Amino acid sequence: MKIAVVGRGNVGGGLADLWEQASHEVKRIGREGGDVSDAEAVVVAIPGSMIAEALNNGHGMEGKTVIDATNLVGVDPPAGFASNAEFVKSRTNGPTAKSFNTNFAALYDRIGQARSTPSNLWCGDEEAREVVEQLNRDAGFEPVYAGPLENASLQEDFLKLLFAINRGGLGRFFYRMAPPDQL
Ligand SMILES: NC(=O)c1ccc[n+]([C@@H]2O[C@H](COP(=O)([O-])OP(=O)(O)OC[C@H]3O[C@@H](n4cnc5c(N)ncnc54)[C@H](OP(=O)(O)O)[C@@H]3O)[C@@H](O)[C@H]2O)c1
């Protein structure tokens, strides 16, 4: 599959590596922007507060299947939207999903060491299901459907629960692959 990943950091760069290992063709796009018109899937992995800017800098997004991996840390989604993912949909008007925002990028290189395949949540449009589920599996995750795109705000808020679990000291049980000093 031809994939464009917007954001070259922990998540964008890490997923790009995993997908290239699975024989996908990945175009990596940084803050300078770029053309995604030949991509079959676009993954957005930039700081959540930068979502509008990143979409402005990307050309050829209209109608694309977009997977939004952003989280909102201490900021709200754009005014008038319950989630970043719904904002993305309003701008691209294509199949849209939220995924890859609830797993730590620091563990990408150890997915294969897990005792069982790690789950990864996604919610979004049915038209995005085939792409999202394939890209989850090709990154090493078992996709878990969390409902329509209207549930994206729940999935974005899930980060707060993850942080609370980590602060509560249960992270090492929740993420069985990670040593306690990384949680
Ligand atoms: N880290 C995790 O474990 C994790 C897990 C799940 C979800 N997330 C979420 O995923 C997103 C990315 O996290 P990350 O850890 O990968 O962050 P990161 O390592 O800081 O990388 C962010 C990347 O986004 C780029 N960027 C910033 N503004 C941009 C723009 N307007 N257009 C295009 N690219 C832009 C940055 O470019 P520069 O290098 O030029 O600054 C950087 O390469 C965040 O929303 C985060 O909350 C993170």
Nearest to 68 by CA among 104, 30, 41: 41
Once rounded to an integer, what is the mean pLDDT over residues 158-174?
Answer: 77
Q: How many CB atoms lie within 10 A of CB 156?
A: 23
Could you tell which of 11, 15, 98 is best to mutate to test the pocket of ligand 1, judged by most ligand atoms within 8 Å of the CB? 11
**CA 125 – CA 64 distance, rounded (Å):** 12
- pTM, full prediction: 0.93
Integer angstrom CA distances of residue 1 from 65, 66, 73: 12, 14, 31
**In sequence order, which residues have a C-beta less than 8 Å from that of residue 8 and are 6 or more positions away?**
16, 28, 29, 30
Once rounded to an integer, what is the mean pLDDT over residues 10-34?
Answer: 97
Q: Which residues line ligand 1 (CB under 6 A)?
A: 6-12, 30-31, 45-48, 50, 53-54, 57, 69-71, 73, 101, 104-106
Could you tell which of 29, 32, 35, 46 is best to mutate to test the pocket of ligand 1, judged by most ligand atoms within 8 Å of the CB? 46
Q: Beta 41-44 vs 58-59: how paired, if at all?
A: unpaired
- Cβ atoms of 1 and 41 closer than 8 Å: yes
Once rounded to an integer, what is the mean pLDDT over residues 161-165?
Answer: 86
Ligand 1 atom nearest to CA at 48: 45
Q: Is the per-residue pLDDT at 44 higher than 50? A: yes
pLDDT given for residue 168 in this prediction: 84
pLDDT given for residue 169 in this prediction: 77
pLDDT in tens, 123-141: 999 999 999 999 999 999 9
To the nearest 10°, the Cα dihedral for 152, 14, 139, 128? 40
**CA 46 – CA 43 distance, rounded (Å):** 10
* % the chain with pLDDT above 90: 84
Q: Is the per-residue pLDDT at 162 higher than 90? A: no
Q: Is the per-residue pLDDT at 149 higher than 50? A: yes
Sign of CA dihedral 174, 149, 97, 128: positive
pLDDT given for residue 177 in this prediction: 44
Of 39-48, 145-154, 156-165, the one with minimum mean pLDDT is 156-165
Rg (CA), the chain: 15
3-state helix, strand and coil shares in percent for the chain, rounded to the nearest 5: 45, 20, 35
Residue 7 tokens read as 């954001």
pLDDT in tens, 69-104: 999 988 999 999 999 999 999 999 999 999 999 999
pLDDT given for residue 180 in this prediction: 42
- Please give the distance, rounded to the nearest whole angstrom, from the Cα atom of residue 45 to the centre of ligand 1: 5
Which residue has the least CA distance to atom 41 on ligand 1?
Answer: 31
